[in-house]
Amino acid sequence: MKKLTAEEARRFKEGCREFKEYPDIESYKSDIITYLVYSSWRYTEEEAKELVESWMAYVEEAYKRKESAFDCAAEVGYSCG
């Protein structure tokens, strides 16, 4: 994962508030993981990956519903954080 500056992280998180036309679920998962790392919960990259994998059924459904990465990350991160 690319290290983001504070400004880049702010812009990234802002951009996750709307569903993007992701080419695949892996891109969606990547945004959720990045969001969790740069959120106030401060998950490590490894923790975020494990969390997303453990919530994969929910993540897949959220992707199908075109739920924003922000909303999905909030559900996953808050429920486990």
pLDDT for 80 equals 60
Total count of domains within the chain: 1
Reported pTM: 0.90
| 1 domain-assigned | no
| 55 domain-assigned | yes
Q: Which domain holds residue 73?
A: 6-80
| 50 domain-assigned | yes
| 72 domain-assigned | yes
Q: What is the full DSSP assignment across the chain?
A: -----HHHHHHHHHHTTS----SSHHHHHHHHHHHHHHSTT---HHHHHHHHHHTHHHHHHHHHTT--HHHHHHHHHHHH-
Q: Tell me: the pLDDT tens digits for 47-74?
A: 999 999 999 999 999 999 999 999 999 9
| 59 domain-assigned | yes
| 12 domain-assigned | yes
